[in-house]
C-alpha cells in the first residue's frame, strides 16, 4: 500500500509505475464534483475510474477485500472514511471463493488489522498483495465522494 495526498502528488509519485503515475495525474486534473457517478476510461485497456457517492457504514458492516487483476487507487474527493488494511496472508479466511468476473475476494477479517483515515484529497494505492476494507465510517455514517481507479496489473511496467 502506498498513501499520499494530492497536495504533494508530484513529490509522492516519484518511483511509482508509469501507469500509476498516469492515473494519479488524471485524478489531480479532473474536477470530480462535476462528474456523475459512473465509470470513465482513463487509458483504454489500461485503466478506468469509478466515481461514486455514498454514505460510509459502520465498520462491522464493511468486508475486507482483495483483487488479483487490478491495482486500486482509492481517492477521497470529499468526506472521510476509515480504510482498513493488512498484507495478504495465509491467516486470512475467505468468506467466499475468488470471483474472477468481478476480480474480488472477500475475507472475514483483516489479520493483523491496521486502519488509516482517508480525508479529502488523500489516496491509497492498493496492490493485489494489499487486503483492504473501504467505506467504513470514522465516527457516524457520513457522505463521501470517492474515485476508485482500476489499473490492470498486466499493464504495470515495474513488476
Task: Please tell me the predicted confidence (pLDDT) of residue 11.
Answer: 76
Count of domains for the chain = 1
**Burial class of residue 49 (count of CB atoms within 10 Å of its CB; 0-12, 13-18, 19+):** buried
Q: What is the pTM for the complete model shown?
A: 0.95
Per-residue confidence in pLDDT tens, the chain, 159 aa: 999 999 988 777 778 899 999 999 999 999 999 999 999 999 888 899 999 999 999 999 999 999 999 999 999 999 999 999 999 999 999 999 999 999 999 999 999 999 999 999 999 999 999 999 999 999 999 999 999 999 999 999 865
User: Containing domain of residue 67, as a range?
Assistant: 2-155
- At 159 the pLDDT is 54
Alpha-carbon distance of 83 to 62, in angstroms, equals 10
CATH number for the domain that contains residue 63: 2.60.120.370
- Per-residue model confidence (pLDDT) at position 14: 78
The single-letter DSSP state of residue 148 is E
- CA 87 to CA 84: how far, in whole Å? 11
Amino acid at each position: 500500500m502506498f498513501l499520499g495526498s494530492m497536495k504533494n502528488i508530484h513529490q509522492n509519485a516519484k518511483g511509482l509505475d508509469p501507469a500509476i503515475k498516469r492515473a494519479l495525474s488524471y485524478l489531480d486534473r479532473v474536477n470530480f464534483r462535476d462528474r456523475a457517478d459512473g465509470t470513465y476510461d482513463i487509458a483504454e485497456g489500461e485503466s478506468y475510474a469509478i466515481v461514486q457517492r455514498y454514505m460510509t457504514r459502520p465498520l462491522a458492516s464493511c468486508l475486507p477485500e482483495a483483487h488479483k487483476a487490478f491495482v486500486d487507487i482509492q481517492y477521497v474527493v470529499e468526506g472521510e472514511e476509515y480504510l482498513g488494511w493488512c498484507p495478504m496472508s495465509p491467516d486470512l479466511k475467505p468468506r467466499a471463493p475468488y470471483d474472477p468476473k468481478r476480480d474480488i475476494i472477500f475475507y472475514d477479517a483483516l489479520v493483523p488489522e491496521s486502519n488509516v483515515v482517508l480525508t479529502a484529497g488523500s489516496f491509497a494505492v492498493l496492490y493485489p498483495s494489499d487486503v483492504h476494507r473501504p467505506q467504513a465510517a470514522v465516527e457516524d455514517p457520513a457522505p463521501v465522494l470517492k474515485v476508485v481507479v482500476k489499473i490492470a496489473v498486466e499493464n504495470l511496467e515495474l513488476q
